[in-house]
Amino acid sequence: MTLPLLLFVLIHLCGLLACHGFKICAFNVQSFGDSKAADGKILHTLTQIVSRCDVCLLQEVRDNKKKAIPKLLNSLNNFDSNHQYDHVSSGRLGRSQTYQEQYVFVFRRDSVRLKDQYQYPDTQKGDEDAFAREPFVVRFQAPKTVIGEFVLVPVHTTPTNATKEIDELYDVFEDVRQRWRTEDMMFLGDFNAACGYVAKKNRKNIRLYTMSSFAWLIEDKQDTTVRETTDCAYDRIVVHGDTFLRAVVPFSAQPFNFAKEYHLTEEEALKVSDHYPIEVDLKTKSGSERGCAHSNLLPFTFGLVLRLQMSAD
């Protein structure tokens, strides 16, 4: 057996035995409402995307008639027979009455339990409120994960005020810490943290950047946009503290290129959204159905390949 073939076998076996973590996603679905929910092809693509996630934050939900999210949930529950999906959502948020959005968390009922939730208040900072769309904070319990319980803090910033709004997330962190006595938090969503909206020289004014206890998992070089003419890391995932960071599967934070995965043209993908979802995996406990139950076989795999190589020589 040649060395390239041995390497192929090793990589393939390791892939089969690899850990499958608990997946958290965030997706700016770009004005998700009745028209998108009524389009079968768009709804099917959204269903495929969301079904990959144990928890998925949806942004730019404009479900005024409260029909779009139920359609998505119905589609998910029909599509994925292994799980049952539920959701929790904020009220309609926004400074303008003509354009308001909701944060919606869709989650698998068999792997996640909603423990608590609250709407961060509309706080004034200077002449206007701190956020265009105040974070809707949720606390989840996920028994199969190493961390067990965590808080998710969503934000969809206004592009022209992104630096200020991202900095204000530190005040949200302090509020949650005092309210729930926890520091295990993940901030996620469309930060608009790239391509001119947040200049690198302004990062010194953002506490989530300057304080070492916050880890930015989506890097500047990662493109979270669908259009081929753009290359911007608008969407981000930030975790606080060593405990949460150790619970993250290394290098799992990334955009999900659904256009490539589902063989869509750029035009077809843009009908779904102009953003890619972003995602990150959490480590699961040994022996859980999605954990690393077969990790003890890895030494055997390496040994087998080594013996094959020696016999080939």
Tokens at residue 68, please? 């779009």
Q: Examine the residue annotation and report whether 156 is marked as an active-site residue of this protein.
A: yes
List, as own/partner pairs, every contact residues 97-103 make where C-beta atoms lie below 8 angstroms and the sequence separation is at least 24, other chains included: 100/62, 101/59, 101/60, 101/61, 101/62, 101/133, 101/156, 102/61, 102/62, 102/63, 103/57, 103/58, 103/59, 103/61, 103/133, 103/135, 103/136, 103/154, 103/156, 103/189
Q: List Cβ neighbours of 304 (8 Å cut-off, separation of 6 or more).
A: none
Measured distance CA(58)–CA(275) in Å, rounded:
12
Catalytic residue among 60, 83, 87, 101: 101
Instruction: Establish whether 149 is a catalytic residue.
Output: no
Judged by phi (left if over 0) then psi (alpha if -120 to 50, else beta), residue 190 lies in beta
Catalytic residue among 134, 156, 165, 275: 156
Strand, helix or coil for residue 236 = strand
Residues serving a catalytic function are 101, 156
